[in-house]
Amino acid sequence: MLKTSTSSKVIQSSLGLHTKLRSNSSVMNQQLSSHQNIRFSSLSTTSTSSNSSTSSSSTLPPKYDVEETLKAQKIIYERLKQDQSQALTYAQKILKAHIYDYEKAKDLVAKSFNASTKDSYLPFRPDRVALQDASAQTAILQFLTTGLPKTQTPTTVHCDHLIVGEGSLESSTISQKKETLAKKDVEKAFEESGEVFNFLESASQALGLGFWNPGSGIIHQIVLENYAFPGGMMVGCDSHTPNAGGLGMIAIGVGGADAVDVMSAIPWELKRPKILGVKLTGTLNEWTSAKDVILKLTGMLTVKGGTGYIIEYFGEGVHSLSCTGMATICNMGAEVGATTSIFPYTRAMSRYLRATNRASIADQADEYADYLKADEGATYDQVIEINLNELEPMINGPATPDRSFSLSQFAEQVKVHEYAPELSAALIGSCTNSSYQDLTSAASIAKQALAHGLKSKSQLFISPGSEQIFATMKRDGLLEIFEQVGAKILANACGPCIGQWNRTDHKGKKNSIVSSFNRNFTGRNDGNLLTSHFLTSPMLVMSMAFAGRIDFNPLTDSLIGSDGKEFKFTSPQSEELPSRGFERSSLNLSPYLEPLPLQERKKVTINIDPKSDRLQFLKPFEAWNKNDFIDLPVLIKVAGKCTTDHISPAGKWLNYKGHLENISNCTLIGAMNAMNNKINCVKNIFTGKEDTVPEVAKQYQREHKTSWIVIGEENYGEGSAREHAALQPRFLGCKAIITKSFARIHETNLKKQGILPLTFVNPSDYDLINPETDIISITGVTTLSPNSKLTLTVKGKPQIQIPLQHTMNETQIEWFKAGSAINWIRRKNEDLLHDSC
């Protein structure tokens, strides 16, 4: 909701959807719960306001951000050049250059890289922040509680998560040169989420954030095209933020409270990561791609093998990869739990920067290229070698991204595991594989199929990574090729990759899909627990679509053309970058709103309708009561894998990201109860009655006036950087979560929200707890300090004394005592304001 007294203007949103701000003698209130203020117009409509803050697409990347990047580059590169006191890996050099209060603390960083201090926390000052529309709601709502008038660090909001993919490209529209871009999907998103987009737009304008409209592209592709730069450091409220490592940047996925730290320009803490070196030798074969590198590595490391590490690639094989290929590899480093992934600066990065209108940034990187790589003599904590000459095409899945098969093995595995061999849907895109190079490789296969008179036997969906990619594909004829083979073009958005897929077929039926996505947890994409989802490269996805089977191997198997003759696909061809350059816009739209000047910003007020079911101002969590946790029930003892999708699912629940009370109704509904092997079914220990997990949590909180805890297994909270997986339990009364181990981002998110993340000293103690009979106490909370031990006891069972441990440092303990990190930040800001007065 927005109040404004500025002069009349039209702020244009993507695809010709506008929000009109009118001024008169009384200040106009836009009611966010109503969509009457959203006017839909034709795609050709453009803003006519002379004083609109909308940045023209021809000026992208935003001029201001390029200038700020050049300034940051110079400072960082001079630090790298002047400080060569020790041989460091490339990642370590960037971390050191971004230490908070550099001149005073750089020696601290040097010492921290010693193995003896591997558990130390370091304070950093990243260069920028990126927020996607689902997580941005809560991040902004939290930032509003800090009392700061604007962001202190360049920040952008990207609307890509709230668009449901249905494949609304109308028949023959491409060949008739009509303006498309999955128009209906984006228009429907405005109908369903207009109040959220309006809130994010107005909040961005009020707080000095850049705003990318719905349909402009996927956050990570937009960051790569406009903001990422070699040697830089950023955080993003999405687990695949490391995508920017493809441009030599340290980019780390975080929760909203972490983003608020950086936006507030206070020290952002990170446990000193170890460095896993991956040496690449040789060059890729004709049917292999960068995707196969990370699919192979994921199988080697498993979903938790990278936890606590930054993965740094090196070796001569690095220089054979494209910039977007390196981004694909870094993107999926999240699937092994890595803090982030990064490549050293290469000629491919320079080419990409120049192709995306950032020649000045490339020039400066070229000048300092010798410093944008690991020092000679630098040592890694662990090294893995992958010979690209020997790498086969890979397929990973189902249910987990680390179940890895080479293509030559896969047909046999389909039989052994009785996977459904028929391919029901093939999907190309997502933030992992939606670049121009990815789509030209897929189009190369499609052209061969067309030459033999074939169309896709499976449903085929394609999601371009950005408006720039879409526009270039359209100009170069790729969209026409895809349309001719029967593909449906989705909006420039996440879509099916995150469960935003209105799939109406195969409900409740066993079926198989293949995609070029990054994550394949059961039920994640279509809500069907019987869907087997396999991950592979875009060219293999396209090949299988024409066979209509997942056991098709294009290297060895043949297809029958329309003439009845057998043929085999030849190795696909791809273009690293478009030979004619990127098309800036096919629709003459402006997808980006730059931050308002100070005086204009002061006139914008952010309001939320109290009746809204999508948005709700946050109330601070209560501070710790200075007592141990005594006599608490266990809400659920989780069995097996428990990702953030299990704790806070996406899909329809994304609609409530800005309303904590409503989204809490999905808390842990996907987790398996170890006591009955049922999902979303637990027993209320006080009444003996079974109910859903969130309902029992509310009963404990509302009727029994008690908090509760959760017991989990290994790598609890893996997957998306989904802060709500911590916020929701906290809102419903969770005090502690005790597991065998945590995924990095989720553990930090729990700390930020005032929940104690504890682990069993002896993992087998997990088996000692029965949540249907045991009332739990945790002592040692009153004496909590770094490395201190706590003890879990069970009421009436004095023989059970379970030792627990934690990883909280002094600052994180202060967050806990304050009730949350945001409470702690607000208190510090209030103290500063009081002192200044």
- Residue in 98, 240, 533, 722 annotated catalytic: 722
Active site residue 722: yes
> What tokens were used for 173?
């529209």
Question: Two tokens at 303?
Answer: 């979903």
Tell me the two tokens of residue 596.
């308002």
Nearest to 244 by CA among 259, 261, 227, 224: 224
CB 432 within 8 A of CB 341: no
Q: Name the nearest CA neighbour of 466 among 512, 502, 509, 431.
A: 431
Give the active site residue among 434, 720, 741, 820. Answer: 720
Cα distance between residue 263 and residue 124, in whole Å: 12
Tokens of 72: 């940051």
Give the burial string for 159-189 (b: 16+ CB within 10 Å, else e). bbbbbbbbbbbeeeebeeeebbbbbebbbbb
- Tell me how crowded residue 457 is: count the other CB atoms within 10 A of its CB: 17
720 is annotated as an active-site residue: yes
Integer Cα distance of 39 and 18 in angstroms: 6
Active site residue 264: no
Catalytic hit among 98, 519, 533, 826: 519
Sign, CA dihedral 582-585-590-591, equals negative
Q: Residue 49: exposed, middle, or buried by beta-carbon count in 10 A (0-12, 13-18, 19+)?
A: middle
786 to 95, 121, 324, 515, 805: CA distances (angstroms): 23, 11, 41, 44, 10
The one catalytic residue among 238, 261, 609, 645: 238
Choose the catalytic residue: 128, 161, 272, 646.
161
Helix and strand element counts for the chain (H, E): 24, 37
DSSP 127: S
Phi, then psi, of 295 in degrees rounded to 5? -65, -40
Could you give phi then psi for residue 393, rounded to 5 degrees? -60, 140
Q: DSSP of 729-741, one letter per residue?
A: HHHTTEEEEEES-
CA separation for the pair 735, 372 (Å, rounded): 44
Distance spanning both ends of the chain, measured CA to CA: 32
Neighbours of 370 (CB within 10 A): 9
CA-atom Rg of the chain in angstroms: 26
Q: Does 160 participate in catalysis according to the annotation?
A: yes
Write down the catalytic residue from 127, 133, 160, 774.
160
CA distance linking residue 739 with residue 758, whole number of Å:
6
> Is the distance from CB of 670 to CB of 685 less than 8 angstroms?
no
Residue 627 makes CB contacts below 8 A (sequence gap 6+) with 781, 782
Which of 528, 531, 499, 488 has the alpha carbon at shortest distance from 513?
531
CB count in 10 Å sphere of residue 515: 27
Query: 342 — phi, psi (to 5°)?
Result: -155, 150
Q: Among 648, 823, 655, which residue's Cα sits nearest to residue 728?
A: 648
Measure the CA–CA gap between 728 and 701, rounded to whole angstroms: 13
Strand partners, 512: 423, 532
Does residue 535 sit in helix, strand or coil? strand
Q: Which residues are catalytic?
A: 160-161, 238, 519, 720, 722
